[in-house]
Structure 1
Amino acid sequence: MPPYVMEGAGGKEEVLLVVYDADSGFLRELKNYVHKAVSPSTHRCVLCGLTYGSTGISPDWKKFLKGLDISVELLHRDEMAKKYPAAGIRLPAVFIKSGPSLNLVMGAGEIVLCKNLEELMDLLTYKLKHRNEMKTVQ
């Protein structure tokens, strides 16, 4: 899962961290792919189900991320734990990293309520417009 990077707007660099509740690595990704294909309703990572199809990342999700006015980095659970061990938030989740601060944009409880990709993108768009109301977690 490669990071999609765009320059943030304004002088202060912010990065949107989209964190999947799945581990990195080819074999783990293959296992997740098979699990999603065989039994998608029991797949642990709801965000994976919303943003990935049978052939990889959804073209609509990729286009949406590239259209944001903020840099974006996609991370797996194990990558998040290495980079930001103090976060301790249930995954999947979306954060904004601004300087040393890590702010929660959307938690697992909100993501799981999204019925489809369009709802996820609408919610994320709304949340990004209301950045000043976010909870700092690190």
Structure 2
Amino acid sequence: MKELIFVYHAKSGLWNGVLDSIHKWTSPDTYPCHLCAITYGTVSMKGRWKKYIQSLPFPVIFYHLDDLPKELPTVEYPCAYLRNQNDAELFIHKRELVSCQDVEDLISLVNKKLKHPIE
């Protein structure tokens, strides 16, 4: 079974989420997780992104740096992997993700890499 795995450049947990929200709001230029910055509002996932990932024909999984499975290759974060059964390969590199200005750009990038459009 195919899975799309996104990795935030952030730690998990409520307290870390609060600190991340404050950081994004007060100093967005220094916030390290571009994936969080474009897919989340102040407290929750943006509706357009949520609707899109729910429309994909396979599971989409999200990890933080502190809950990342050890079997995934170490790369620069944030990023995304595509996993087929137990084999995971880098799907979206940090530099590609950082080039996305908003959710629509990220959706276009994922669609392009999947080689088929999904609304």
Same fold (TM over 0.5): yes
Aligned to 1:110: 96
Aligned to 1:134: none
Q: CA deviation at 1:85?
A: 4.7
Are positions 1:53 and 2:8 aligned together? Answer: no
Q: CA deviation at 1:15?
A: 1.1
TM-score, normalised to structure 2, is 0.91
Q: CA deviation at 1:24?
A: 0.6
Query: How many residue pairs align between the two structures?
Result: 116
Unmatched runs of 5 consecutive residues or more in structure 1: 1-12, 131-138
Are positions 1:119 and 2:110 aligned together? Answer: no
- State whether residues 105 and 128 of structure 1, in contact with CA within 8 Å, keep that contact through their aligned partners in structure 2: no
Equivalences for residues 6-17 of structure 1 within 5 A:
13-17=1-5
Are positions 1:26 and 2:2 aligned together? Answer: no
Equivalences for residues 76-115 of structure 1 within 5 A:
76-80=64-68, 83-85=69-71, 87-115=73-101
- State whether residues 90 and 108 of structure 1, in contact with CA within 8 Å, keep that contact through their aligned partners in structure 2: yes
SS of equivalent to 2:111 = helix
* In structure 2, distance between residues paired with 1:86 and 1:59: 28
Amino acid aligned to 1:75: Y
Amino acid aligned to 2:24: K
SS of equivalent to 1:57 = coil
RMSD of aligned alpha carbons = 1.4
* In structure 1, distance between residues paired with 2:50 and 2:63: 14
Q: CA deviation at 1:48?
A: 0.6
SS of equivalent to 1:94 = strand
Q: CA deviation at 1:86?
A: 5.2
Distance 1:86 1:60, change over 3 A: closer
Identity value in percent: 31
